[in-house]
Chain A
Amino acid sequence: MLGKINAAQLVLVFLSATLLFPTQAFTQSDESQTDTDQRLQSLYRQVRCPVCPAQPISESEAPLSQILRQELAKKVKTGMTNKDAIEWLVERYGEEILLRPRFNSAMLLWLAPIACAAIAILALRTIINQAK
């Protein structure tokens, strides 16, 4: 349906468009958006707001969320690593404050993708082999 000429034109249009857009969208960040800020952002995304059902503190407006963000910001800016900050939180609120379950408490969750991938590869191989 898309004749050869049309497809080529489409490709050219997409090429030029897509090469421009992402680069423009991700513009230079100013000095304050440093490594620390990015670390902080990713940390916020992993912490659950203690009073909301399942929202990260990066998105919740609850007062406690804001307090936690400020505390974490203070700690990270004085050089605490994300790992230690998480430890500090878990000491006080338990593992349920994390939105990304730890391996030890949720082994099944982290092994499941590997198991799925293994089963998928197995299924693929049996079909391909049997078909030959």
Chain B
Amino acid sequence: MSIEIGHYALVLALCIAIALATLLPLGLLGKNAFCRHLTATSSLARPLASAMFILCLFASAMLIRAFLLSDFSALLVWQNSHSSKPMLYKFAAMWGNHEGSMLLWVLVLSLFAMLIAFFTKSQHAKQSPLTTLTLSIQSAICALFLAFTLFFSNPFARAYPVAADGMGLNPILQHPALAIHPPLLYLGYVGLSAAFSTTIAALILNNISNEWARATRFWTLLAWVFLAAGITLGAWWAYEELGWGGFWFWDPVENASLMPWLLATAALHALMSFIKTARIRAWAILLVLLAFSASMLGTFLVRSGILVSVHSFASDPLRGIVILLCVTIVTASALALFAWRKNTENSTNLKPFPLLSREGAQFINILLLSCCCALVMLATLYPLFFEFFTKRSIAIGPPYYTAVLTPFFLVIVTALGILPALGWRRSSRKQIIRHASIVAPIATGSGIAVFLVANYSASAAIAVAFGIWALIGAARTKGAPGVACAHAGIAILLIACASASLNDVEKFRTMRVGNTITLNKGTSSTKLELKNIFTKQGSNYNELGARFQLNSKNTLTPAIRTYIPSGIKTTEASINRTILRDIYVTIATLDERSSDSSTKNRDTISVRVRKKPLMFWVWAGAAITIFGGILSLIPRNLLKRRLQQ
């Protein structure tokens, strides 16, 4: 019964969405008193928007309840859950599949609709037509996705006859990071819709003003923070759980979440220097529109089955076509509107700015980030086109991406580093030279030091040199502390990613109990001794593990698990973390012959040991960047007051 109630709630939400989408524009067009009451913040719109969100929340709650109670008469629960699953993962299983995650999409869309209705600050903004039209467009998008969910991806279908137990969930997906990863990601991904709606509204009203810029910046920043957090969590899960030793694989689904983030970053920078130049104005608008479009396109790529990835959902061609149509309608209208308004705009207010200025640096940043996004999209889609036209397959992996994106990123980081010496609209040459003459030698010095010490690794040297250049530049950036913080985070991330991926050291050995493996000699050597090999029985798996002693201090226990109902094998890596490096140990079995390797008595084991320098700083850098974003969300005067106390 509860499933059906959830279903009806969703239908009701759809009706409200349609109502909001159609009634609110009346408030702008109509002349009589009633129409004038139809504003976004009116006593009509606010309750309606809240009701829409609450209904979606209720529907989600009903679905979650079905999962928690293991109600296998619900088709989704049967397909994605199992009675023996721990509670947290039953909860998270709600969004671990296509239909449930569409419900999550819709939930976040309606959440932002409600926020739009309530979160308008100034009195002027409350009565302005911009907010009203924004809410209307957000509701329209809600309606579109609600309709898609209800008609093509209904999470509330029933399964008949009722099975005794469910088909379970992939054990790899049972990890805390992955449980929170989708909601965070969606808050970012889907949250970009608010900025999108605001921009469409402003374009329709043909009124690109500071009010628009402030509102859009806020929504974009909010979504950006969540998106960054979601992406980081996903990478962390991949590192911890998959046992592959990496954290980013340039997989199509990963790229689908990275592209909106790149565009959102560019949009944020464009919005910050919005007031200064009309040209950056156009880019700001375009980037905000493209960011959400990238989210929607990403949804299509992931759910239609057109791209193969370890992350893809089960696909259905009809569903894919419908998603494609939705994406096309929304994005094409947005871009057409953009073209029309841009064309008929009279471009006055063209305040000039030289290249060596904050606007100049921002503009370079915007261009380069857009280039990076375009290249990622090209590389993600290329295999599709290639296989279609030549009938041969092609794989584009990390070597391509790093080779191609690094030059762009290095230029961005150079601009980042020189930022403190640049002024708005002009900069003093003297300041630039002074800054550069202090920082450049420091950066080069560190680079050379690393080059000599790290076995003449050019990549390490370059990464460190540019990273320190950017880091010092970020630390010296005056003005918004959030900006300095975020830039510092990115600089640290650069150094850490480069060293962890390109300078890791690896050894592969077959070992017996008592053998040791040494990765480095000298002061910080890493010595692993195999203490024993064991088998263990877990709640729903058999495990073959090995116990190692690291440098006679810590214990590492990598394992291979074979899950009982499904036979799925997972590699459980064991990681020893310090600020300087991670030691990552996995077991590899060559034996495909034994279907259940756990029951065999083994006296040798094949082991891979990896040392990844500065891996900790990948996570720290990401966290610092996200924190910088959060800092930027806090209104300036509030921060000033707090800091002065």
Contacts and interface: CB of A to CB of B under 8 A. Distances in A.
A90 interface: no
Contact of B643 (A1, A22, A31, A56): A1
B506 interface: yes
A61 B522 contact: no
Contact of B455 (A29, A120, A130): A29
A48 B357 CA distance: 45
A82 interface: no
Interface string A56-95: 1011110100100100000000000000000000000011
A60 B396 contact: no
Interface magnitude class on chain A? 35 or more
Contacts of A98: 395
B407 interface: yes
B360 A128 contact: yes
Given A21-B580, A120-B371, A100 B397 contact: yes
Nearest to B445: A19
B234 to A, nearest CB: 16
B476 interface: yes
Contacts of B475: 7, 10-11, 14
Given A58-B506, A132-B352, A116 B371 contact: yes
B571 A99 contact: no
Nearest to B615: A25
B379 A94 contact: no
Given A99-B396, A113-B375, A23 B449 contact: yes
Interface in B506-546: 506, 508, 518-525
A60 to B, nearest CB: 7
Interface string B351-376: 11111000010011001101100110
A3 to B, nearest CB: 9
A24 B464 CA distance: 13
Nearest to A12: B475
A45 B471 CA distance: 29
B521 A2 contact: no
Given A27-B524, A109-B379, A2 B395 contact: no
Interface magnitude class on chain B? 35 or more
Contacts of B60: none
B399 A1 contact: no
A58 B350 CA distance: 53
Contact of B478 (A7, A29, A112): A7
B355 A124 contact: yes
Contacts of A2: 477-478, 481, 484
Interface in B365-392: 367-368, 370-371, 374-375, 378-379, 382, 386, 392
B280 to A, nearest CB: 8
A53 B472 CA distance: 41
B519 to A, nearest CB: 8
Nearest to B242: A59
Interface string B556-589: 0000000000000001000000011100001011
B1 interface: no
A46 interface: yes
Contact of A99 (B351, B397, B468): B397
B277 interface: yes
A18 B478 contact: no
Contacts of A1: 478-481, 639-640, 643
Interface centre among A11, A18, A27, by most chain B C-beta atoms within 10 angstroms, is: A27
Given A19-B449, A29-B505, A48-B395, A63 B590 contact: yes
A112 B380 CA distance: 13
Contacts of B374: 112, 116
Contacts of B404: 109-110, 112-113
A41 B506 contact: yes
A104 B484 CA distance: 44
B450 A26 contact: yes
Interface string B385-423: 010000011111111100110011000000000000000
Nearest to B392: A96
Nearest to B578: A25
B119 interface: no
Contacts of A7: 475-476, 478
A14 B471 contact: yes
Given A21-B580, A21-B617, A112-B375, 8 more contacts: A11-B472, A22-B460, A22-B495, A56-B398, A95-B394, A106-B396, A109-B378, A116-B371
